[in-house]
Structure 1
Amino acid sequence: MIDLIKQDEDRNEMPSSLEGQFLVAMPNLKGPHFERSVVYLCSHSQDGAMGLVVNQVSTQITFPDLLRQVDILGENDDMINLPMPARGMDVLNGGPVDQGRGFVLHSADYKLESSTLAVSDEICLTATVEILRALAEGRGPKSALLTLGYAGWSPGQLEDELQSNSWLTCSADSSLLFDCTPGERYDRSLQLMGIDLSMLSSEAGHA
């Protein structure tokens, strides 16, 4: 789904772009998709924003199940044949849009020409079946997380949500993406900002 993401020539049009940063849900933000969510923003310009929720594990599908759906694993293939990182990979609910499509955030040691977008120096995004195959065969990126679906904002929508204090923002930390479990990412993101959740009010500003 790389076509959803603005390319390099468009990124400089918005000096206040939050691309490559985290959005961290404030306590007043409710709903099944975004309550206590951490979103990694892959794109943010005057045309809108696109990001991936990185801390909500899907209860509907496992990584081996997904590999079977795209014919990388056969129906009778044992997941023990997968490399160790792939066996333990979670499938995350990336957001309410296009939930049948997979998106992989990963370290910059792996790139597919014309398919991989470098969001930052450390973090890339690839949304093709080929990266799933590479992960299953042990030749993918050193670090990766997989989401189904994404979160999208129309022009001005995210800015309105920031104005209404629905989100905190902070610089992305690759260790939070790749070294923490999904369940740890919300509290860890607040710790990175030096924020105690028990002291956080709906009137807090941006970090």
Structure 2
Amino acid sequence: MRFQFALPLSIAAAVLFLPLDVAAQSMRVQDLGVGKLLVATRDAPDPHFAKTVVLLVQLDGNGTLGLMINHPAKVPISRALGQLKAAKNRSDPIYLGGPVEASMVLALLRARNQPDDARRVVGDVYMISTRPLLEKTLAAGTGPSEFHACVGYCGWGAGQLEKEMKLGVWYIFDGDAKLVFDSDPDSVWSRLIARIELKVERWRPPAGQGWEKAPLTATALRIAHGAMR
């Protein structure tokens, strides 16, 4: 058999005929890229990434690097970056960028023009990875609607993220500055997941055909996307 998952026929049919633009998201490896957002599925196995949204900032043959955008810590920048004079009066929170190298500080900046030594990620969003530019940005008083400092990052070795995609761990969304600097970051994951599930709900078969007994999993959605391409 082509598909090896236990769903009633009516449910499988509903999955296979989901619209191509389910919440404008993808589960295809070929859609990975710098500036994309990874949204963890509800059944993502790694607790480090539970209910997480990750902005991809680097992707090449050596691996992938990303920053979580929806986990502000309860620690202000002034405390987290106390060694930097320019951070002294910052009350906005430091962000948890990921579980790798928690002592490393990277930042995301929204700017009309690309600053020197900054790397463009998507649209007018840039990544800061040098101390001089970080200090300069802090000294300029750039607010939290345009600047997030992150400790740690998400890292995948060569081929590792691609393998997770094939296992149905992540959804891919187009990057968007408004989401990166959302005023309510704690709700970003739930809002994106709700967009997906709302689309799925519209395509459920009538009640009584077994759908409610077999919830749609990330694996089933991944298979559906593959079948529709």
- Fold shared per TM-score above 0.5: yes
Report the counterpart of residue 49 of structure 1 in structure 2: 64
Greater helix fraction, Structure 1 or Structure 2: 2
Q: Which one-letter code corresponds to 1:183 in the other structure?
A: D
Alpha-carbon distance in structure 2 between the residues aligned to 1:183 and 1:177: 12
* Stretches of structure 2 lacking an aligned partner (at least 5 in a row): 1-28, 202-214
What is the percentage of aligned positions where both structures have the same residue?
24
Q: Which residue of 2 aligns with 1:122?
A: 124
Q: Secondary structure at the match of 1:195?
A: helix
1:22 is displaced (CA, Å) by 0.4
1:110–1:32 CA distance, 2 compared to 1 (3 A): farther
Does 1 or 2 have the higher relative contact order (CA < 8 Å, sep 6+)?
2
Where do 5+ consecutive residues of structure 1 fail to align?
A: 1-13, 80-85
- The answer for the alignment partner of 2:162 in structure 1 is 159
In the TM superposition, 1:177-188 aligns within 5 A as 177-188=180-191
In the other structure, the counterpart of 1:34 is: 49
Give how far 1:172 is off: 1.0
SS at match of 2:187: helix
Aligned twin of 1:201: 217
Give distance in 2, aligned partners of 1:167 and 1:111. 30
Relative to structure 1, the CA distance from residue 45 to residue 72 in structure 2 (aligned partners, 3 Å threshold; closer, same or farther) is: same
Show CA shifts across 1:58-110 (max 9, x none).
Answer: 24x3211133223435xxx6x3xxxxxx43x2211111112111111111335
Deviation at 1:17, TM superposition (A): 4.1
How many residue pairs end up in the alignment? 180
TM-score scaled by length of structure 1: 0.74
Q: Are 1:104 and 2:107 counterparts?
A: yes
- The TM-score normalised by the length of structure 2 is 0.68
The residue number in structure 1 matching 2:33 is 18
2:17 corresponds to: none
